[in-house]
Protein backbone atom coordinates (compact mmCIF):
# COMPACT_ATOMS: atom_id res chain seq x y z
CA UNK A 1 0.00 0.00 0.00
CA UNK A 2 2.77 2.36 1.08
CA UNK A 3 4.58 1.66 -2.17
CA UNK A 4 1.48 2.48 -4.23
CA UNK A 5 1.03 5.78 -2.42
CA UNK A 6 4.72 6.57 -2.87
CA UNK A 7 4.68 5.88 -6.60
CA UNK A 8 1.49 7.94 -6.95
CA UNK A 9 3.22 10.85 -5.21
CA UNK A 10 6.28 10.44 -7.46
CA UNK A 11 4.07 10.32 -10.57
CA UNK A 12 2.19 13.44 -9.49
CA UNK A 13 5.40 15.29 -8.68
CA UNK A 14 6.91 14.35 -12.02
CA UNK A 15 3.77 15.46 -13.80
CA UNK A 16 3.77 18.84 -12.13
CA UNK A 17 7.51 19.26 -12.75
CA UNK A 18 7.25 18.79 -16.51
CA UNK A 19 9.52 21.35 -18.08
CA UNK A 20 7.84 24.20 -19.93
CA UNK A 21 8.69 24.45 -23.63
CA UNK A 22 11.75 26.57 -24.35
CA UNK A 23 10.97 30.00 -25.76
CA UNK A 24 11.11 30.44 -29.51
CA UNK A 25 12.58 33.87 -30.13
CA UNK A 26 11.73 36.64 -30.46
CA UNK A 27 9.47 37.07 -27.44
CA UNK A 28 7.67 40.21 -26.24
CA UNK A 29 8.85 42.42 -23.40
CA UNK A 30 6.41 42.69 -20.49
CA UNK A 31 5.54 46.20 -21.68
CA UNK A 32 4.78 45.00 -25.21
CA UNK A 33 2.57 42.27 -23.85
CA UNK A 34 0.72 44.70 -21.63
CA UNK A 35 0.24 46.92 -24.68
CA UNK A 36 -1.12 44.02 -26.75
CA UNK A 37 -3.62 43.28 -24.02
CA UNK A 38 -5.13 46.76 -24.48
CA UNK A 39 -6.45 45.67 -27.91
CA UNK A 40 -8.52 48.80 -28.65
CA UNK A 41 -7.74 52.43 -27.95
CA UNK A 42 -8.56 55.77 -29.53
CA UNK A 43 -6.87 58.45 -31.54
CA UNK A 44 -8.01 62.06 -31.25
CA UNK A 45 -7.25 64.37 -34.17
CA UNK A 46 -7.92 67.95 -33.17
CA UNK A 47 -6.12 71.22 -33.85
CA UNK A 48 -5.97 74.11 -36.30
CA UNK A 49 -7.01 71.77 -39.12
CA UNK A 50 -10.35 71.33 -37.37
CA UNK A 51 -11.04 75.06 -37.67
CA UNK A 52 -9.75 75.35 -41.22
CA UNK A 53 -11.56 72.30 -42.56
CA UNK A 54 -8.24 70.76 -43.59
CA UNK A 55 -6.46 67.43 -43.26
CA UNK A 56 -2.92 68.73 -43.73
CA UNK A 57 -2.68 72.41 -42.81
CA UNK A 58 0.06 74.25 -44.69
CA UNK A 59 1.32 75.85 -41.48
CA UNK A 60 0.27 79.40 -42.33
CA UNK A 61 -3.08 79.84 -40.52
CA UNK A 62 -2.85 82.11 -37.47
CA UNK A 63 -3.00 80.47 -34.04
CA UNK A 64 -6.04 82.64 -33.35
CA UNK A 65 -8.18 80.46 -35.61
CA UNK A 66 -8.10 77.77 -32.92
CA UNK A 67 -11.30 78.65 -31.11
CA UNK A 68 -13.38 75.83 -29.63
CA UNK A 69 -16.35 77.26 -27.78
CA UNK A 70 -17.20 74.30 -25.63
CA UNK A 71 -14.10 72.13 -25.40
CA UNK A 72 -14.68 69.29 -22.98
CA UNK A 73 -11.99 66.62 -22.52
CA UNK A 74 -14.18 64.88 -19.95
CA UNK A 75 -16.76 64.33 -22.69
CA UNK A 76 -14.05 62.76 -24.88
CA UNK A 77 -12.84 60.49 -22.10
CA UNK A 78 -16.35 59.48 -21.01
CA UNK A 79 -17.32 58.72 -24.62
CA UNK A 80 -14.20 56.68 -25.26
CA UNK A 81 -14.59 54.77 -22.03
CA UNK A 82 -18.18 53.90 -22.98
CA UNK A 83 -16.93 52.79 -26.39
CA UNK A 84 -14.62 50.26 -24.70
CA UNK A 85 -11.41 52.12 -25.53
CA UNK A 86 -8.57 51.41 -23.11
CA UNK A 87 -6.61 54.56 -23.85
CA UNK A 88 -6.28 57.59 -26.10
CA UNK A 89 -3.51 59.12 -28.21
CA UNK A 90 -3.80 62.86 -28.85
CA UNK A 91 -2.35 64.76 -31.80
CA UNK A 92 -0.49 67.25 -29.62
CA UNK A 93 1.06 68.65 -32.82
CA UNK A 94 0.11 67.74 -36.39
CA UNK A 95 2.07 68.54 -39.55
CA UNK A 96 0.89 72.19 -39.50
CA UNK A 97 3.11 72.69 -36.44
CA UNK A 98 0.42 74.09 -34.11
CA UNK A 99 0.90 72.88 -30.54
CA UNK A 100 -2.06 72.05 -28.32
CA UNK A 101 -0.03 72.81 -25.19
CA UNK A 102 1.65 76.08 -24.14
CA UNK A 103 5.09 75.03 -25.30
CA UNK A 104 8.12 77.23 -24.82
CA UNK A 105 9.56 75.91 -28.09
CA UNK A 106 7.42 78.03 -30.45
CA UNK A 107 4.81 80.78 -30.39
CA UNK A 108 2.66 78.72 -32.69
CA UNK A 109 0.68 77.27 -29.84
CA UNK A 110 -2.55 77.30 -27.89
CA UNK A 111 -1.48 80.17 -25.61
CA UNK A 112 -1.77 82.48 -28.62
CA UNK A 113 -5.34 81.38 -29.29
CA UNK A 114 -8.61 82.68 -27.84
CA UNK A 115 -9.22 79.35 -26.09
CA UNK A 116 -9.48 80.12 -22.35
CA UNK A 117 -7.91 83.49 -23.22
CA UNK A 118 -4.62 81.78 -23.91
CA UNK A 119 -4.64 79.89 -20.61
CA UNK A 120 -5.73 76.51 -22.02
CA UNK A 121 -3.68 73.34 -22.34
CA UNK A 122 -5.49 70.53 -24.16
CA UNK A 123 -2.70 68.01 -23.52
CA UNK A 124 -3.03 68.59 -19.77
CA UNK A 125 -6.81 68.65 -19.83
CA UNK A 126 -6.99 65.33 -21.65
CA UNK A 127 -4.27 63.66 -19.59
CA UNK A 128 -6.20 64.61 -16.43
CA UNK A 129 -9.51 63.40 -17.84
CA UNK A 130 -7.82 60.08 -18.70
CA UNK A 131 -6.77 59.65 -15.07
CA UNK A 132 -10.35 60.23 -13.92
CA UNK A 133 -11.80 57.76 -16.45
CA UNK A 134 -9.08 55.14 -16.11
CA UNK A 135 -7.75 55.50 -19.66
CA UNK A 136 -4.14 55.26 -20.71
CA UNK A 137 -2.74 58.38 -22.33
CA UNK A 138 -0.47 58.67 -25.36
CA UNK A 139 0.87 61.42 -27.59
CA UNK A 140 1.33 61.99 -31.30
CA UNK A 141 3.83 64.76 -32.06
CA UNK A 142 4.49 65.19 -35.77
CA UNK A 143 8.18 65.35 -36.68
CA UNK A 144 7.28 67.17 -39.88
CA UNK A 145 6.50 70.82 -39.15
CA UNK A 146 5.17 72.90 -42.03
CA UNK A 147 5.16 76.11 -40.00
CA UNK A 148 8.67 76.24 -38.60
CA UNK A 149 11.09 78.39 -40.62
CA UNK A 150 14.00 76.15 -39.57
CA UNK A 151 12.45 72.90 -40.68
CA UNK A 152 15.13 70.84 -42.48
CA UNK A 153 17.87 72.81 -40.65
CA UNK A 154 19.61 71.82 -37.40
CA UNK A 155 17.74 74.48 -35.38
CA UNK A 156 14.38 72.78 -35.86
CA UNK A 157 15.73 69.48 -34.54
CA UNK A 158 16.42 71.20 -31.22
CA UNK A 159 12.92 72.67 -31.22
CA UNK A 160 11.43 69.25 -31.89
CA UNK A 161 13.44 67.66 -29.09
CA UNK A 162 12.33 70.39 -26.73
CA UNK A 163 8.74 69.55 -27.62
CA UNK A 164 9.30 65.84 -26.96
CA UNK A 165 10.97 66.75 -23.70
CA UNK A 166 8.04 68.91 -22.54
CA UNK A 167 5.46 66.35 -23.58
CA UNK A 168 7.17 63.37 -22.00
CA UNK A 169 8.15 65.20 -18.79
CA UNK A 170 4.92 66.94 -18.00
CA UNK A 171 2.00 64.85 -19.13
CA UNK A 172 2.80 61.24 -18.35
CA UNK A 173 2.66 58.46 -17.73
CA UNK A 174 2.43 57.81 -21.47
CA UNK A 175 1.64 54.40 -22.87
CA UNK A 176 2.56 55.23 -26.47
CA UNK A 177 4.43 57.92 -28.37
CA UNK A 178 3.69 58.34 -32.07
CA UNK A 179 6.32 59.53 -34.51
CA UNK A 180 4.35 59.99 -37.68
CA UNK A 181 5.82 58.76 -40.93
CA UNK A 182 4.91 61.81 -43.07
CA UNK A 183 8.22 63.56 -43.47
CA UNK A 184 8.96 66.69 -45.42
CA UNK A 185 7.40 68.22 -48.48
CA UNK A 186 5.92 71.60 -49.23
CA UNK A 187 5.03 73.99 -46.46
CA UNK A 188 4.87 77.55 -45.20
CA UNK A 189 8.18 77.31 -43.31
CA UNK A 190 8.00 80.80 -41.83
CA UNK A 191 6.96 82.35 -45.15
CA UNK A 192 9.50 80.62 -47.39
CA UNK A 193 6.63 78.61 -48.96
CA UNK A 194 8.78 75.93 -50.53
CA UNK A 195 9.44 72.23 -50.62
CA UNK A 196 11.94 70.80 -48.14
CA UNK A 197 13.12 67.21 -47.92
CA UNK A 198 15.04 65.50 -45.14
CA UNK A 199 16.39 62.02 -44.49
CA UNK A 200 14.13 61.11 -41.60
CA UNK A 201 16.36 58.35 -40.26
CA UNK A 202 19.21 60.81 -39.75
CA UNK A 203 17.63 64.25 -39.45
CA UNK A 204 15.46 63.89 -36.34
CA UNK A 205 17.96 62.00 -34.14
CA UNK A 206 15.45 59.34 -33.20
CA UNK A 207 17.86 57.68 -30.78
CA UNK A 208 17.75 60.79 -28.61
CA UNK A 209 13.98 61.04 -29.05
CA UNK A 210 13.54 57.46 -27.90
CA UNK A 211 15.82 58.00 -24.90
CA UNK A 212 13.81 61.05 -23.87
CA UNK A 213 10.48 59.25 -24.15
CA UNK A 214 11.69 56.21 -22.23
CA UNK A 215 13.53 58.19 -19.55
CA UNK A 216 10.20 59.38 -18.21
CA UNK A 217 7.93 56.64 -19.50
CA UNK A 218 9.92 53.41 -19.46
CA UNK A 219 7.01 51.25 -20.58
CA UNK A 220 5.84 53.52 -23.42
CA UNK A 221 5.57 51.94 -26.85
CA UNK A 222 7.28 53.88 -29.59
CA UNK A 223 5.48 53.98 -32.91
CA UNK A 224 7.40 54.99 -36.02
CA UNK A 225 11.01 55.91 -36.61
CA UNK A 226 13.89 53.42 -36.66
CA UNK A 227 13.52 52.31 -33.00
CA UNK A 228 9.90 51.38 -32.91
CA UNK A 229 8.46 48.90 -30.39
CA UNK A 230 5.23 48.54 -32.36
CA UNK A 231 4.69 48.79 -36.09
CA UNK A 232 2.27 50.28 -38.60
CA UNK A 233 0.22 47.66 -40.40
CA UNK A 234 0.77 49.42 -43.72
CA UNK A 235 -2.68 50.82 -44.51
CA UNK A 236 -5.18 53.21 -42.93
CA UNK A 237 -8.27 51.23 -43.89
CA UNK A 238 -8.56 49.24 -40.68
CA UNK A 239 -7.36 45.80 -41.48
CA UNK A 240 -4.43 43.50 -41.05
CA UNK A 241 -3.88 40.42 -43.18
CA UNK A 242 -4.85 37.17 -41.42
CA UNK A 243 -1.25 35.95 -41.56
CA UNK A 244 0.32 38.29 -39.07
CA UNK A 245 3.51 37.54 -37.15
CA UNK A 246 4.40 39.74 -34.19
CA UNK A 247 7.94 39.30 -35.48
CA UNK A 248 6.77 40.68 -38.87
CA UNK A 249 7.64 37.48 -40.71
CA UNK A 250 7.91 33.87 -39.62
CA UNK A 251 11.66 34.23 -39.29
CA UNK A 252 11.73 37.83 -38.07
CA UNK A 253 14.17 38.46 -35.23
CA UNK A 254 12.42 41.34 -33.41
CA UNK A 255 9.07 41.36 -31.61
CA UNK A 256 7.22 44.34 -33.12
CA UNK A 257 3.47 43.76 -32.87
CA UNK A 258 1.19 45.55 -35.31
CA UNK A 259 -1.16 48.46 -34.81
CA UNK A 260 -4.05 49.18 -37.18
CA UNK A 261 -4.97 52.87 -37.32
CA UNK A 262 -8.18 53.97 -38.96
CA UNK A 263 -10.64 56.84 -38.60
CA UNK A 264 -14.32 56.45 -37.72
CA UNK A 265 -14.90 58.94 -40.58
CA UNK A 266 -13.11 59.23 -43.95
CA UNK A 267 -10.89 62.06 -42.62
CA UNK A 268 -8.69 62.17 -39.54
CA UNK A 269 -9.89 65.69 -38.71
CA UNK A 270 -13.49 66.83 -38.38
CA UNK A 271 -15.32 68.02 -41.50
CA UNK A 272 -19.00 68.83 -41.31
CA UNK A 273 -19.56 67.32 -44.75
CA UNK A 274 -18.56 63.93 -43.34
CA UNK A 275 -21.31 63.85 -40.71
CA UNK A 276 -23.18 61.37 -42.88
CA UNK A 277 -20.07 59.30 -43.58
CA UNK A 278 -19.40 57.94 -40.10
CA UNK A 279 -18.67 54.23 -40.39
CA UNK A 280 -21.59 51.92 -39.70
CA UNK A 281 -21.65 49.48 -36.80
CA UNK A 282 -21.16 46.65 -39.32
CA UNK A 283 -18.12 48.36 -40.82
CA UNK A 284 -16.65 48.97 -37.37
CA UNK A 285 -17.23 45.36 -36.33
CA UNK A 286 -15.55 44.22 -39.53
CA UNK A 287 -12.61 46.45 -38.69
CA UNK A 288 -12.46 44.91 -35.21
CA UNK A 289 -12.39 41.34 -36.51
CA UNK A 290 -9.81 42.25 -39.15
CA UNK A 291 -7.53 43.99 -36.65
CA UNK A 292 -7.87 42.63 -33.11
CA UNK A 293 -9.07 39.37 -34.65
CA UNK A 294 -5.93 39.32 -36.79
CA UNK A 295 -3.41 39.70 -33.97
CA UNK A 296 -3.19 43.52 -34.12
CA UNK A 297 -4.18 46.39 -31.88
CA UNK A 298 -6.90 48.72 -33.12
CA UNK A 299 -6.31 52.48 -32.92
CA UNK A 300 -9.67 54.01 -33.81
CA UNK A 301 -9.66 57.73 -34.56
CA UNK A 302 -12.28 60.21 -33.38
CA UNK A 303 -12.14 63.64 -35.02
CA UNK A 304 -13.21 66.21 -32.41
CA UNK A 305 -15.73 68.72 -33.84
CA UNK A 306 -15.48 72.52 -33.97
CA UNK A 307 -17.20 73.01 -30.61
CA UNK A 308 -14.54 70.87 -28.96
CA UNK A 309 -16.60 67.72 -28.46
CA UNK A 310 -16.84 64.30 -30.07
CA UNK A 311 -19.83 64.54 -32.38
CA UNK A 312 -22.94 62.66 -31.12
CA UNK A 313 -23.14 60.62 -34.35
CA UNK A 314 -19.62 59.30 -33.75
CA UNK A 315 -20.08 58.67 -30.05
CA UNK A 316 -23.38 56.83 -30.46
CA UNK A 317 -21.94 54.75 -33.32
CA UNK A 318 -18.82 53.85 -31.32
CA UNK A 319 -20.83 52.80 -28.27
CA UNK A 320 -23.16 50.70 -30.44
CA UNK A 321 -20.11 49.08 -32.00
CA UNK A 322 -18.66 48.25 -28.61
CA UNK A 323 -21.96 46.84 -27.34
CA UNK A 324 -22.30 44.71 -30.47
CA UNK A 325 -18.81 43.25 -30.16
CA UNK A 326 -19.23 42.67 -26.43
CA UNK A 327 -22.49 40.90 -27.11
CA UNK A 328 -21.07 38.81 -29.94
CA UNK A 329 -18.16 37.65 -27.81
CA UNK A 330 -19.90 37.26 -24.48
CA UNK A 331 -21.25 33.75 -24.37
CA UNK A 332 -18.27 31.43 -24.63
CA UNK A 333 -19.72 28.05 -25.49
CA UNK A 334 -16.46 26.24 -24.76
CA UNK A 335 -16.43 27.12 -21.12
CA UNK A 336 -18.42 24.02 -20.10
CA UNK A 337 -17.28 21.77 -22.94
CA UNK A 338 -15.27 18.58 -22.42
CA UNK A 339 -11.76 19.13 -23.77
CA UNK A 340 -9.35 16.53 -25.11
CA UNK A 341 -6.10 16.72 -27.04
CA UNK A 342 -4.06 14.13 -28.92
CA UNK A 343 -0.90 15.18 -27.12
CA UNK A 344 -0.23 16.86 -23.77
CA UNK A 345 3.05 17.81 -22.20
CA UNK A 346 2.03 16.39 -18.84
CA UNK A 347 -0.67 17.50 -16.47
CA UNK A 348 0.66 21.01 -15.97
CA UNK A 349 0.11 21.67 -19.69
CA UNK A 350 -3.07 19.70 -20.21
CA UNK A 351 -5.69 20.55 -22.83
CA UNK A 352 -8.05 21.79 -20.11
CA UNK A 353 -5.82 24.86 -19.67
CA UNK A 354 -7.32 26.44 -22.79
CA UNK A 355 -10.68 26.99 -21.13
CA UNK A 356 -9.76 27.55 -17.50
CA UNK A 357 -10.14 31.33 -17.79
CA UNK A 358 -6.50 31.85 -16.83
CA UNK A 359 -4.18 33.49 -19.34
CA UNK A 360 -1.12 32.32 -17.39
CA UNK A 361 -1.82 28.62 -17.99
CA UNK A 362 -1.59 26.93 -21.37
CA UNK A 363 -1.90 23.67 -23.22
CA UNK A 364 1.49 22.58 -24.57
CA UNK A 365 2.59 19.63 -26.65
CA UNK A 366 5.80 17.63 -26.41
CA UNK A 367 9.01 18.93 -27.96
CA UNK A 368 8.76 16.49 -30.86
CA UNK A 369 5.12 17.38 -31.47
CA UNK A 370 4.90 20.73 -33.35
CA UNK A 371 1.20 20.23 -34.19
CA UNK A 372 -1.82 18.89 -32.38
CA UNK A 373 -5.55 18.36 -32.33
CA UNK A 374 -7.86 19.60 -29.64
CA UNK A 375 -11.54 18.76 -29.40
CA UNK A 376 -14.47 20.17 -27.49
CA UNK A 377 -17.55 18.03 -26.88
CA UNK A 378 -20.84 19.63 -25.93
CA UNK A 379 -23.48 17.99 -23.78
CA UNK A 380 -26.17 19.60 -25.95
CA UNK A 381 -25.59 20.73 -29.55
CA UNK A 382 -24.48 24.37 -29.85
CA UNK A 383 -24.57 26.86 -32.73
CA UNK A 384 -21.26 28.58 -33.37
CA UNK A 385 -20.06 31.27 -35.78
CA UNK A 386 -16.75 32.40 -34.25
CA UNK A 387 -13.67 30.85 -32.70
CA UNK A 388 -11.07 32.81 -30.77
CA UNK A 389 -7.59 31.37 -30.16
CA UNK A 390 -4.72 32.84 -28.15
CA UNK A 391 -1.16 31.61 -27.97
CA UNK A 392 0.94 31.90 -24.84
CA UNK A 393 3.11 34.45 -26.64
CA UNK A 394 5.50 34.95 -23.72
CA UNK A 395 7.22 31.93 -25.25
CA UNK A 396 7.04 33.29 -28.81
CA UNK A 397 4.55 33.12 -31.65
CA UNK A 398 4.40 29.62 -33.10
CA UNK A 399 1.31 28.47 -35.01
CA UNK A 400 1.65 28.58 -38.80
CA UNK A 401 -1.63 26.98 -39.84
CA UNK A 402 -4.74 25.36 -38.45
CA UNK A 403 -8.23 24.41 -39.54
CA UNK A 404 -11.59 23.74 -37.92
CA UNK A 405 -13.81 20.70 -38.10
CA UNK A 406 -17.22 20.01 -36.67
CA UNK A 407 -19.32 16.96 -35.93
CA UNK A 408 -23.11 16.80 -35.86
CA UNK A 409 -25.08 13.59 -35.38
CA UNK A 410 -21.97 11.55 -36.06
CA UNK A 411 -21.13 13.33 -39.32
CA UNK A 412 -17.80 15.12 -39.61
CA UNK A 413 -17.23 18.16 -41.83
CA UNK A 414 -14.72 20.92 -42.31
CA UNK A 415 -15.85 24.40 -41.19
CA UNK A 416 -15.30 26.97 -43.95
CA UNK A 417 -14.03 30.12 -42.32
CA UNK A 418 -14.32 33.59 -43.89
CA UNK A 419 -10.59 34.02 -44.06
CA UNK A 420 -7.56 31.78 -44.19
CA UNK A 421 -6.55 30.04 -40.97
CA UNK A 422 -2.84 30.58 -40.73
CA UNK A 423 -1.13 32.39 -37.84
CA UNK A 424 -2.60 32.91 -34.36
CA UNK A 425 -0.32 35.00 -32.10
CA UNK A 426 -1.67 36.98 -29.18
CA UNK A 427 -5.22 36.72 -30.52
CA UNK A 428 -6.92 35.30 -33.57
CA UNK A 429 -10.67 35.32 -34.19
CA UNK A 430 -12.10 33.40 -37.13
CA UNK A 431 -15.64 33.85 -38.36
CA UNK A 432 -17.87 31.46 -40.32
CA UNK A 433 -21.55 30.98 -41.11
CA UNK A 434 -23.47 29.70 -38.06
CA UNK A 435 -23.18 25.96 -37.75
CA UNK A 436 -24.74 23.50 -35.29
CA UNK A 437 -22.28 21.15 -33.62
CA UNK A 438 -21.97 18.36 -31.08
CA UNK A 439 -18.22 18.59 -31.28
CA UNK A 440 -15.66 21.19 -32.41
CA UNK A 441 -12.13 20.21 -33.38
CA UNK A 442 -9.18 22.50 -34.01
CA UNK A 443 -6.33 20.96 -35.92
CA UNK A 444 -3.08 22.82 -35.56
CA UNK A 445 -1.21 21.59 -38.62
CA UNK A 446 2.09 23.40 -38.42
CA UNK A 447 3.94 25.29 -35.73
CA UNK A 448 7.48 26.59 -35.19
CA UNK A 449 7.75 24.26 -32.18
CA UNK A 450 5.53 22.60 -29.58
CA UNK A 451 2.16 24.29 -29.28
CA UNK A 452 1.53 26.72 -26.40
CA UNK A 453 -2.15 27.67 -26.48
CA UNK A 454 -3.46 29.67 -23.53
CA UNK A 455 -7.05 30.27 -24.48
CA UNK A 456 -9.72 29.06 -26.87
CA UNK A 457 -13.27 30.38 -26.94
CA UNK A 458 -16.19 29.98 -29.31
CA UNK A 459 -19.45 31.84 -29.79
C1 LIG B 1 -0.68 60.08 -41.19
C2 LIG B 1 -0.89 61.57 -41.20
O3 LIG B 1 -0.35 62.15 -42.36
C4 LIG B 1 -2.39 61.76 -41.12
O5 LIG B 1 -2.76 63.11 -41.22
C6 LIG B 1 -2.85 61.18 -39.79
O7 LIG B 1 -2.32 61.93 -38.71
C8 LIG B 1 -2.43 59.72 -39.68
C9 LIG B 1 -2.75 59.09 -38.37
O10 LIG B 1 -1.06 59.56 -39.92
O11 LIG B 1 0.60 59.71 -41.50
Span 364-373, average pLDDT: 98
Residues 365 and 292 placed together within one structural domain of the fold: no
Residues 309 and 207 placed together within one structural domain of the fold: yes
Residues 419 and 376 placed together within one structural domain of the fold: yes
Residues 183 and 161 placed together within one structural domain of the fold: yes
In a domain, 427, yes or no: yes
Residues with CB under 6 A from ligand 1: 55, 180-182, 261, 268
Ligand 1, atom 2, residue with closest C-alpha = 182
* Predicted local confidence at residue 183, as pLDDT: 82
Question: Is the pLDDT reported for residue 5 higher than 60?
Answer: no
Residues 65 and 40 placed together within one structural domain of the fold: yes
CA of 182 to the centre of ligand 1 (A): 7
In a domain, 64, yes or no: yes
Residue 420 C-beta-side C-alpha neighbours within 13 Å: 9
In a domain, 4, yes or no: no
Residues 254 and 129 placed together within one structural domain of the fold: yes
Asked which of 26-35, 197-206, 364-373 is least confident by mean pLDDT, the reply is 197-206
Last residue of a domain, one of 328, 358, 376: 328
Residues 323 and 263 placed together within one structural domain of the fold: yes
Span 178-195, average pLDDT: 94
In a domain, 307, yes or no: yes
| pLDDT tens-digit readout, 11-46 | 555 555 689 999 999 999 999 999 999 999 999 999
More confident residue, 86 or 3: 86
- Residue 261 sits in a domain whose CATH number is 3.20.20.80
* Predicted local confidence at residue 8, as pLDDT: 53
Largest Cα–Cα separation, the chain: 94
Q: What are the Cα distances from residue 437, in Å, to 90, 290, 384, 413?
A: 46, 25, 8, 10
In a domain, 179, yes or no: yes
Residues 195 and 51 placed together within one structural domain of the fold: yes
User: Looking at ligand 1, which atom is closest to the CA of residue 181?
Assistant: 11
The rounded mean pLDDT for the chain is: 96
* Predicted local confidence at residue 7, as pLDDT: 55
* Predicted local confidence at residue 363, as pLDDT: 98
Question: Which residues fall within 8 angstroms of residue 91, CB to CB, at 6 or more apart?
Answer: 43, 44, 45, 46, 47, 100, 140, 142
Q: Of 251, 203, 254, 253, whose CA–CA distance to 228 is shortest?
A: 254
Last residue of a domain, one of 299, 328, 357: 328
Q: Of 84, 54, 115, whose CA–CA distance to 303 is shortest?
A: 54
Residues 198 and 163 placed together within one structural domain of the fold: yes
User: Looking at ligand 1, which atom is closest to the CA of residue 268?
Assistant: 6
* Predicted local confidence at residue 182, as pLDDT: 79
Domain count, the chain: 2
Calpha distance 128→60 (Å, rounded): 31
Last residue of a domain, one of 307, 328, 349: 328
In a domain, 10, yes or no: no
CA of 398 to the centre of ligand 1 (A): 33
In a domain, 11, yes or no: no
Residues 285 and 357 placed together within one structural domain of the fold: no
| pLDDT tens-digit readout, 395-408 | 999 999 999 999 99
Ligand 1 pocket check: which of 98, 268, 303 to mutate, most ligand atoms within 8 Å of Cβ? 268
> What is the pLDDT confidence band of residue 211, given thresholds at 50, 70 and 90?
very high
Residues 188 and 223 placed together within one structural domain of the fold: yes
Question: Is the pLDDT reported for residue 325 higher than 90?
Answer: yes
**Contact in structure between 209 and 254 (CB atoms under 8 Å):** no
Ligand 1, atom 3, residue with closest C-alpha = 182
User: Looking at ligand 1, which atom is closest to the CA of residue 55?
Assistant: 5
* Predicted local confidence at residue 184, as pLDDT: 81
Phi, psi of 265 (to 5 degrees): -120, 170
Q: β-pairing, 87-93 with 136-141? A: parallel
| pLDDT tens-digit readout, 244-254 | 999 999 999 99
Domain that holds residue 303: 30-328
| pLDDT tens-digit readout, 264-322 | 999 999 999 999 999 999 999 999 999 999 999 999 999 999 999 999 999 999 999 99
User: Looking at ligand 1, which atom is closest to the CA of residue 43?
Assistant: 9
Residues 450 and 409 placed together within one structural domain of the fold: yes
Q: Which residues of 147-156 are buried (b: 16+ CB within 10 A; e: fewer)?
A: bbeebbeeeb
Calpha distance 346→363 (Å, rounded): 9
pTM of the model: 0.96
User: How many CB atoms neighbour CB 194 within 10 A?
Assistant: 10
**Contact in structure between 169 and 216 (CB atoms under 8 Å):** yes
In a domain, 418, yes or no: yes
* Predicted local confidence at residue 4, as pLDDT: 56
What is the three-state SS of 285-305? HHHHHHHCCECEEEEEEEEEC
State what percent of residues in the chain have pLDDT above 70: 96
- Residue 450 sits in a domain whose CATH number is 2.60.120.260
Amino acid sequence: MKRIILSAIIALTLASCTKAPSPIYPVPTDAQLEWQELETYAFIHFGLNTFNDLEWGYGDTPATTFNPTDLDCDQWAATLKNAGMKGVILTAKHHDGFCLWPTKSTDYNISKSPYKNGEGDVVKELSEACKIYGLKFGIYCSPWDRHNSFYAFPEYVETYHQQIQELTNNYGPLFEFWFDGANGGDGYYGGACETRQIDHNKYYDYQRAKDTVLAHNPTAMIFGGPFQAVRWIGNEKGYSEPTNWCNETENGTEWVPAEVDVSIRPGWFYHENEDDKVKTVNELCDIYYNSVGHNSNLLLNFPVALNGKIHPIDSIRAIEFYNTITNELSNNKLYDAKVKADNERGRRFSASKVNDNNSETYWATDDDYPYGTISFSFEKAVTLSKVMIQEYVKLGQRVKSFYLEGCKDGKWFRINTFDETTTVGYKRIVRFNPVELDKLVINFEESRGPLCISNIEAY
